[in-house]
Amino acid sequence: MTAHNFHQTVLREYDVRGIVGDTIAEADAAALGRAIGTTVLRSGGSRVCVGYDGRLSSPGLCDALTEGLLSTGVDVDMIGLGPTPTLYYSVFELDADGGVMITGSHNPPDYNGFKIMLGKKPCFGEAIQALGALARAADYEVGKGTLTEIDIFDRYLERLMRDVDFGQFKVVWDPANGAAGDVITTLVKRLPGEHIVINGEIDGTFPNHHADPTVEANLEQLKEAVAEHGADIGLSFDGDGDRIGAIDREGRVVWGDQMLAIMAGDLLKTLPGASIIADVKASQVLFDRIEELGGNPVMWKTGHSLIKEKMVDLGAPLAGEMSGHIFYKHKFYGHDDAVYAGIRFLNAITVQGGDLHALKSGLPAAVNTPELRFDCDEVRKFEVVNEVKARLLAEGANMSTIDGVRVLTDDGWWLLRASNTQAVLVARCESSTDEGLQRLKGALVDALAQSGVDAPADL
């Protein structure tokens, strides 16, 4: 076996990801397979589940990854095409020793990558770097594993249906031509109420709109369909089905932290005092709401792997991110399954009166920006955040440094952090007044300017 060096940008904090044909290729997939297979075997395991999303490059990357895995002697259960949560579910359902999902998630069509489980836990941080080290040293086990095709689809649908407990809603579902399309199209035929699916065909070119529900422009088709059908709720999904977005009957976006606040209103009736985790981008309204409901709000780092680890540490039954990753350990496995989250969201609405519009309107008002993402070089983005943090520390600013900087002032708060999945900086501001929001924006713009970064036009 020859040594393999991954591009410096692809071994990320909580997954492996790059641009196909530029920073990531099938040779990388094969080397990653050998490194994962070796790690599983040396940990006492023998079997790994593999799945892939609907991107055009995914089947080729899947074949190369599988070849690498099998070459170590590890056995592969091939789950095939579907959303990332199906792969996560299969690791639990089949009691496998790990799993790999080939997916570019919410990124543009030319991106792709790998989400990895070792045992029943996410592989991230130092564990991902360790895979890179194995590849550089060509320190692999050698053997001949067995490939088995597994049809998990029906079992997964049955598992989803087990926790359905909602009323007669009219819902529009938009899988956005992503990998959750077949699951949603089949599932809705079994649900109570009336359900309409748009963009249900899996198409790796994403012909109708970008598959990222955190960007309001990507919800326009959903808004139109909700209005056309007189629906109560619209649900949207990202490219690999682990992130969810929602709108109410008037087309108002129910952001990820607002969805979590509504879900908390249901869960804390059953589990009073429970810890509920949200990432640093979430509104203060959410943390205050959890506390008002008798729960324990916990702010943590952004990133699906990091949140899942924190859930295990605290024994938390529910967690979520502004980006639409929702994690249920209560009745489920603790991973981010957007279709399952959609079911639990509909359950939570039912328990609290059945009107999403009223529930959103009942949340305390806050004046804030959406999540702002703007281009910054892959290496430079971390440097910028560190520079801003150093200046704020020198000034004695009141801030949290759990993930980037979240700066607290009398006006509210502003956030700056580096994305772990894209070459972008992420920012957000929130106040109780328009005037306060403008001052927070000004402080953020100034902080960026001092590091030679132009603020985004929508800031």
Q: 300: closest CA among 400, 369, 399? A: 400
Gap between the Cα atoms of 433 and 443, Å rounded: 15
What pLDDT is attached to residue 457?
82
Question: Mean of the pLDDT values across residues 255-259?
Answer: 95
AA letter at 137: A
Gap between the Cα atoms of 227 and 250, Å rounded: 7
Number of H helices, E strands in the chain: 14, 22
Percent of the chain having pLDDT more than 90? 90
Active site residue 43: no
Gap between the Cα atoms of 235 and 246, Å rounded: 5
What pLDDT is attached to residue 378?
83
What lies within 8 Å, CB to CB, of 8 at 6+ separation is 378
Q: Which of 71, 90, 105, 419 is catalytic?
A: 105
What pLDDT is attached to residue 442?
95
Q: What is the pLDDT of residues 325-372, one digit of tens each?
A: 999 999 999 999 999 999 999 999 999 999 999 999 999 889 999 888
User: Of 232-236, 247-251, 454-458, where does mean pLDDT reach its minimum?
Assistant: 454-458
Q: What is the pLDDT of residues 278-310, one digit of tens each?
A: 999 999 999 999 999 999 999 999 988 889 999
Q: Are 302 and 279 in contact (CB under 8 A)?
A: yes
Cα separations (Å) of 429 from 139, 345, 394, 395? 47, 26, 22, 20
Cα separations (Å) of 267 from 290, 309, 318? 10, 20, 8
Write down the residue that tokens 């956030």 correspond to.
Answer: 415
Q: What is the pLDDT of residues 190-232, one digit of tens each?
A: 999 999 999 999 999 999 999 999 899 999 999 999 999 999 9
